[in-house]
Amino acid sequence: MRVLIVHSHPDPDSYNASLCRTVAETLTRGGHELRVIDLYAEGFQPVLSREGWRAYEDAARNADGIEDHVAALRWAEGLIFVYPTWWYGLPAMLKGWLDRVWTPGVAFTLPKDGPIAPSLTHIRKLGVVTTCGASWWLTQVVGAPGRNLMLRGCRFLMAPRCKRLYLAHYRMDVSTPLSREKFRARVRRAMARF
Amino acid sequence: MRVLVLYAHPVETSFAAALHAAVVEGLRAAGHSVDICDLYAENFNPILSRSERLAYHAPDADRSAVAPWIARLEAAEALVLLSPVWNFGYPAILKGFLDRVFLPGVTFAIDNGAVVPGPARLRRIAAVHTYGGPRWAAFMAGDPPRRFARRILRRLFRPDRAVRYLALYDMNRATPSARAAFLARVAAEMKAL
């Protein structure tokens, strides 16, 4: 499968960045074809600018300057996000990637008289690998906004039977070398089956 | 009260800008002093950097890059969030304000593993958002901005009253009268904040 990995963490020496490498290595071994976007490494600009907003609904112009990102998204059959969960959600860097790249004509269309229509129907598998400071139960209590944004919001724009995978290491602040390695093994197993 | 308005929209002629005017007018009419933080106009950089990440849990770290926004948040007694909802979430520039300014030692501290509020204390919180899609679509996606405001901000700051969540859904098809009614509602809610 053609898999796009989108990674957002400011520190290449972080555990989260190492998880991204684990994902890529395991998928490569499984024979998948990969593209990796490392948003911090490439200095992605996540703010949808005034010019960007004015061109937002114009499919002929709204990919200006981010053509590579749009092409990678259109190329993908599988999409995996690897990022830390901050404030129960996506890092601004990654949220801005959605704001700027998931535009009308790319991720969806807005018919004049109908509801929003998905355009990423070539994506059959969506995966999230994330690290959270909060516990699992607290995340449920507050309604898991980050997870919902990905697994329900973004997922809605993909193939009708798109499969979902969500792997989270909770309570990172009290994680141990053992808990981190157990989680890495879980990520590796899931990616071997991806 | 001193009210901090966190406003995020890139275009001055947008409906969000009209909402911004209604928010400020309503708050001033009720006698509040308003600090408008227009994130786009202030060129706020939402990217949490590597050095900020590494020093995240150290309250004595150099936070000079975001010190003015920390000071404004700590001076506020109430908070109003005002933005469109893009892809079921906040615009990146607003999410980045949370990432970079809602720091340990500013909005919360960890005491024996438990999160305690402050020193920033907010007695009232309101959120005003516009959605392109209809309410059912946001509901199906778990409405992340609503959950964030109603649950997370409430737990974090423990305001005196429940968070007021004012949303206009289906903006792409909203009639002029629906928009006008929402503007009036927002202004009235701000007067009663």
Task: Please state at what angle helix B67-75 crosses helix B92-101, rounded to 10 degrees.
Answer: 90
Q: Choose the closest CB to A92 out of B95, B142, B155.
A: B95
Q: What is the pLDDT of residue B146?
A: 97
Residues 148-177 of A with CB under 8 A from B: 148-149, 152-154, 156, 173-174
What's the pTM? 0.96
Counting Cα atoms < 13 Å in the Cβ hemisphere of A92 gives 22
Residue A65 forms contact with B (CB below 8 Å): no
Residue in chain B lying closest to A13 (CA): B50
Name chain A contacts of B47, Cβ cutoff 8 Å: 10, 40, 46, 92-93
**DSSP symbol at A77:** S
> In which region does residue B87 sit, left (phi positive, over 0), alpha (psi from -120 to 50) or beta (all else)?
left
Please give the C-alpha separations between residue A194 and each of A28, A108, A124, A134, B116, in angstroms, as whole numbers.
11, 25, 11, 27, 40
- Whether B10 contacts B40, CB under 8 Å: yes
Q: β-strands B2-7, B33-38: how paired? A: parallel
Name chain A contacts of B11, Cβ cutoff 8 Å: 50, 53-54
Percent over 70 (pLDDT), chain B: 100
Residue in chain B lying closest to A110 (CA): B172
CATH of the domain at B165: 3.40.50.360
> Cα dihedral angle (A178, A180, A184, A186), rounded to 10 degrees?
70
Q: What is the pLDDT of residues B25-49, one digit of tens each?
A: 999 999 999 999 999 999 999 999 9
Q: Choose the closest CB to B95 out of A90, A173, A174.
A: A90
Q: What is the pLDDT of residues A133-188, one digit of tens each?
A: 999 999 999 999 999 999 999 999 999 999 999 999 999 989 999 999 999 999 99
Name chain A contacts of B141, Cβ cutoff 8 Å: 148-149, 152-153, 156
Strands (DSSP E) contained in chain A are: 2-7, 33-38, 78-85, 108-109, 117-118, 125-132, 163-169
Name chain A contacts of B46, Cβ cutoff 8 Å: 46-47, 92-93, 96
Residue linked to tokens 């030692």: B105
Q: What is the tally of structural domains in chain B?
A: 1
Q: What is the pLDDT of residue B133?
A: 86
Q: Choose the closest CB to A152 out of B40, B50, B141.
A: B141
Residue A31 forms contact with B (CB below 8 Å): no
Domain boundaries, chain A: 2-192
Residue in chain B lying closest to A93 (CA): B47
Q: What is the pLDDT of residues B95-128, one digit of tens each?
A: 999 999 999 999 998 777 777 888 889 999 999 9
Full domain range(s) for residue B121: 2-191
Q: How far is Cα A127 from Cα A82, in angstroms, rounded to an integer?
A: 9
Q: What is the pLDDT of residue B173?
A: 84
Residue A52 forms contact with B (CB below 8 Å): yes
Q: Check whether A189 has a pLDDT greater than 90.
A: yes
Q: What is the pLDDT of residue B112?
A: 78
Q: What is the pLDDT of residue A36?
A: 98
Answer whether CATH 3.40.50.360 is correct for domain A2-192.
Answer: yes
Q: Which two tokens stand for residue A32?
A: 């998948």
Q: Which two tokens stand for residue A105?
A: 């004509």
Q: pLDDT confidence of A77, banded at 50, 70, 90?
A: very high
- Whether B45 contacts B96, CB under 8 Å: yes
Q: How far is Cα B94 from Cα A169, in angstroms, rounded to an integer?
A: 25
Q: Check whether A193 has a pLDDT greater than 90.
A: yes
- Whether B103 contacts B28, CB under 8 Å: no
**A with B: how many residue pairs have Cβ under 8 Å apart?**
149
Q: Check whether A31 has a pLDDT greater than 80.
A: yes
* Pairwise CB contact (< 8 Å): A143 & B145: no
Q: How far is Cα B161 from Cα A29, in angstroms, rounded to an integer?
A: 54
Please give the C-alpha separations between residue B30 and each of A18, A137, B188, in angstroms, as whole numbers.
52, 40, 10
* Pairwise CB contact (< 8 Å): B99 & A86: yes
Please tell me whether residue B171 adopts helix, strand or coil conformation: helix
Q: β-strands B2-7, A163-169: how paired? A: unpaired
* Pairwise CB contact (< 8 Å): B92 & A87: no
Name chain A contacts of B96, Cβ cutoff 8 Å: 46, 92-93, 96
Q: What is the pLDDT of residue B169?
A: 95
Q: pLDDT confidence of A59, banded at 50, 70, 90?
A: confident
> In which region does residue B158 sit, left (phi positive, over 0), alpha (psi from -120 to 50) or beta (all else)?
left
Q: What is the pLDDT of residues B162-176, one digit of tens each?
A: 999 999 999 888 899
Name chain A contacts of B143, Cβ cutoff 8 Å: 148
Please give the C-alpha separations between residue A140 and each of A89, A129, A135, A145, A156, in angstroms, as whole numbers.
13, 17, 9, 9, 21
Sign of the Cα torsion B97, B99, B102, B105 reads negative
Residue A88 forms contact with B (CB below 8 Å): yes
